[in-house]
Chains A and B, each alone.
Chain A
Amino acid sequence: AQKITQTQPGMFVQEKEAVTLDCTYDTSDPSYGLFWYKQPSSGEMIFLIYQGSYDQQNATEGRYSLNFQKARKSANLVISASQLGDSAMYFCAMREGPSSGTYKYIFGTGTRLKVLA
């Protein structure tokens, strides 16, 4: 079974509008972390935001916020006031463990976001 699921292979959003990228996860580990990364066409993976499983509040970083619904096992990324530079591939990731002393990170299949002028 998929541990990280991103159901939207592609999304379009109008410039200056908000967009939500979906991510659901599956784990039996009570302690885990959730991450979102942005990968522009240059290929670099840029860390955007982190949510810990015990965090009471949703994480926010500038225009990025994470809508964390623990009971539903979802960690959707919300980008407010979209900009043309937000066009990229977005990956959701989960950290489990540690197992054998090392954390395990699992990535989703990604969502390609295109911001329209």
Chain B
Amino acid sequence: GAVVSQHPSWVICKSGTSVKIECRSLDFQATTMFWYRQFPKQSLMLMATSNEGSKATYEQGVEKDKFLINHASLTLSTLTVTSAHPEDSSFYICSATSGLGTDTQYFGPGTRLTVL
């Protein structure tokens, strides 16, 4: 159980375009989903926390208008990188919690974004 999928697993796009990344909890209802960014050989940097049906809470320094997060249902959250630039190239990884028990975060496999 506790499987989280993420799509796409990798994407290459041109500078100025927008990219949407989907995060789905496959076998549980995710009351909360998190979006992280990870640079090579570094730890995870939390970008935002989203609860189903409400606006995402962004961490300090993360641009809300650039990284649009939508948590439309208990199994789906999307991250849209708008007007992507080369400096947005990174590994983006989502996680989900059910809000039950130990409230363990289960992670998706990540999306590697390269902006040319």
Contacts and interface: CB of A to CB of B under 8 A. Distances in A.
B28 interface: no
Contacts of A108: 43
B101 to A, nearest CB: 9
18 contacts: A33-B104, A43-B112, A44-B107, A44-B108, A44-B109, A45-B93, A47-B2, A47-B104, A47-B105, A50-B104, A101-B51, A102-B57, A103-B103, A105-B46, A105-B105, A107-B44, A109-B42, A109-B43
Nearest to A49: B104
Given A42-B109, A102-B51, A105-B34, A91 B44 contact: yes
B32 interface: yes
A92 B32 CA distance: 20
A37 interface: yes
A33 B97 CA distance: 13
Interface string B32-59: 1010001000111010010100000100
